[in-house]
Chain A
Amino acid sequence: MDQVLEKPLHGGEEHDCQRDVAVAVLTPSGIYPDEDDFRRVAEDEVIKTILDAAAEKLRLTNTADWVARAGERELDNKRTFREECLSGVVEIHWHKREGGGGARGSCAAEF
């Protein structure tokens, strides 16, 4: 993904101690904000705010059981980017949690 940002991520304002995060949300229905860009948000932004914006743009109406991950790590959507130790360029994978019987679940009963 090409990063298109109008200003550098860190600094740029003499008294601006607030760091920004460049975030993209990748879902099964598309990418927010789009395939070529990241959205700049403050570190103190709550992750859910960005997920809600992604849902609105991608017209997702039922994401109650979706899970957001950064790399292999599951995120707490109610926390901020800073609280989840996310900085710089962040790609959030957001989709439904895998579910079903599983090898130790009800499928196993027949074997």
Chain B
Amino acid sequence: MHEALARPNFETDVADLNDVMAASYGLVVNERAFPVLDVTVNHTRPLRLRMIANNWDNQPPSVGLFNPDGLPLTGPIPGGIFHPGPHPGTGKPFVCMRGTQEFHTHGSHLNESWAQYRGQDGMGLVGILLQIVTGWRKITR
């Protein structure tokens, strides 16, 4: 997808993550500029998520897991939708959840295409982010 198409899609989507929403979910927005949405989840065990959506929404975002300082996530991967990996494409831990590039490019899920979810209510960038955030809060509380 050409950037001229992906950028407005991205910007429209991430606008829904306003200050009120971020505060309620305990999120700090570190970066919100195409194609990156980078947030820190303030929680018992903090997590930084870096979503890269170069081809939004033809393709789902790639989601990276980091420590709050931006270095790769250390410590045990807690399970649930969080997989220790390594992902065959990235070689890293990943979020095994529909709506992430790592899920839809994984050999186990090639029959579950992104096209099934694209455009659904709740499957925009913020929707995917909030699902991951909730998954993290549930598994690390």
Contact = CB atoms under 8 A, between A and B. Distances in A.
Interface stretch (A42-50, A79-87, A93-101): A93-101
A97 B121 contact: no
A61 B21 CA distance: 21
Given A29-B16, A107-B109, A110-B88, A98 B135 contact: yes
B53 interface: no
B39 to A, nearest CB: 13
A107 B83 CA distance: 8
Contact of A61 (B84, B108, B121, B126): B121
A31 B132 contact: no
Contacts of A95: 122, 127, 130-131, 134
Q: How large is the interface on B (under 10, 10 to 19, 20 to 34, 35 or more residues)?
A: 35 or more
B125 to A, nearest CB: 8
Interface stretch (A5-13, A15-23, A62-70): A62-70
A101 B109 CA distance: 8
Contacts of B123: 96
Contact of A100 (B77, B86, B88, B103): B103
Interface of B: 16, 18, 20-21, 23-25, 77, 79-86, 88, 96-100, 103, 106-109, 120-124, 126-127, 129-132, 134-135, 137-138, 141
